[in-house]
Amino acid sequence: VVIGRDRPRPFVVRSRVNIAPMSFGALSAAAVTALAEGAAAAGAYINTGEGGLSPYHLSGGGDVVFQIGPAKYGVRTPEGDLDWARVEEWGRHSQVRAFEVKLSQGAKPGKGGILPAAKVSEEIAGIRGIPAGHSSHSPNRFTEFSDVRGLIDFVERMRALVPVPVGVKVALGEAGFIDELAAELAHTGRGPDYISVDGAEGGTGAAPLSLSDHMALPLRDALVEVDDAYRRHGVRDRIVIIAAGRTITLHEHVCGGTVE
């Protein structure tokens, strides 16, 4: 699969199964290192999650997708705005193969997220670009745009700065949003190089139940909506769709006629 065929540095994805977004800070250095080295050995890529790009993501020497959430960790100014110069700098790194603008995830839309002060070490603070020892709030939306046209302007500005593909990650709730994205690509040729689709099943276990139980479509339904929208507008061949789901192995234990 090739993402961004018209980009100066298209991303040739070597594996159908890859490492989904998980931030350093949510995961330990040892965990991120193990995932990065395992991904490189398997020919897969690793997505940084919204916590910025750490040395541990790069430790395996493999392909990395740099995710940028509303807090802009790793590419933010001290005031919390996007540091476009940092985006351009990371875009030239040989291991950074794509950027991903995180709009939402299955279990954390609506209220954003928080990293408690006790977890904000000097190292995590340095990578994220935030003060050490202080709680860090990840907003529930970007301040740079508030509608589809603004999102596309944001994506296009990023694409103009970096040679790699730029995509967006969405947890789909209302199909009209994705239809607008597809229509814009059909009419103007503008928009993300790929869509990473998260399902209602995804996201952090720290999300309030009022969100995790009721937000977004299940992954399979969401994938159908996205695929249908781009086919409806005749541009399905110009977009790559990523299923931000999971692959699991079930161990069945039959007890009293039930499967546990």
pLDDT digits (tens, 9 = 90+) for 160-189: 999 999 999 998 888 899 999 999 999 999
DSSP annotation of 199 = P
Residue 237 backbone zone (phi > 0: left; psi -120 to 50: alpha; other: beta)? alpha
> Model confidence at 119, in pLDDT bands (50, 70, 90)?
confident
For the chain, percent helix, then strand, then coil, each to nearest 5?
35, 20, 50
- Across the chain, what does the average pLDDT equal? 89
pLDDT at 137: 82
What single letter denotes the amino acid at residue 111? K
Q: Per-residue pLDDT for 254 more than 80?
A: no
SS3 183: helix
Q: How far is residue 61's CA from residue 139's CA, in Å, rounded to a whole number?
A: 31
Q: Per-residue pLDDT for 236 more than 70?
A: yes
pLDDT, tens only, 6-53: 999 999 999 999 999 989 988 999 999 999 999 999 999 999 999 999
Output the six-digit token pair for 145. Answer: 């745009």
Output the six-digit token pair for 107. Answer: 């279990």
> Model confidence at 258, in pLDDT bands (50, 70, 90)?
very low
The mean per-residue pLDDT over the stretch 225-229 comes to: 97
Q: Per-residue pLDDT for 252 more than 80?
A: no
pLDDT at 108: 57
The mean per-residue pLDDT over the stretch 231-250 comes to: 87
pTM: 0.90
Q: Are 148 and 83 in contact (CB under 8 A)?
A: no
* Strands 45-47 vs 11-12: parallel, antiparallel or unpaired: unpaired
Q: How far is residue 20's CA from residue 13's CA, in Å, rounded to a whole number?
A: 14
What single letter denotes the amino acid at residue 116? P
Contact partners, residue 152, CB within 8 Å, separation at least 6: 181, 184, 190, 191
The mean per-residue pLDDT over the stretch 128-150 comes to: 91
Report the range of poorest mean pLDDT among 100-114, 163-177, 230-244.
Answer: 100-114
Q: Are 99 and 158 in contact (CB under 8 A)?
A: yes
Q: Per-residue pLDDT for 192 more than 70?
A: yes
CB-count exposure of residue 204 (10 Å: 0-12, 13-18, 19+): middle
Output the six-digit token pair for 112. Answer: 């954003």
Q: How far is residue 115's CA from residue 76's CA, in Å, rounded to a whole number?
A: 16
Q: Are 116 and 130 in contact (CB under 8 A)?
A: no
Output the six-digit token pair for 79. Answer: 């005031």
pLDDT at 247: 62
* Strands 11-12 vs 2-3: parallel, antiparallel or unpaired: antiparallel
Paired with 87 in beta bridges are: none
Q: Per-residue pLDDT for 260 more than 70?
A: no
pLDDT at 208: 65
Q: How far is residue 5's CA from residue 150's CA, in Å, rounded to a whole number?
A: 24
Output the six-digit token pair for 49. Answer: 């999650």
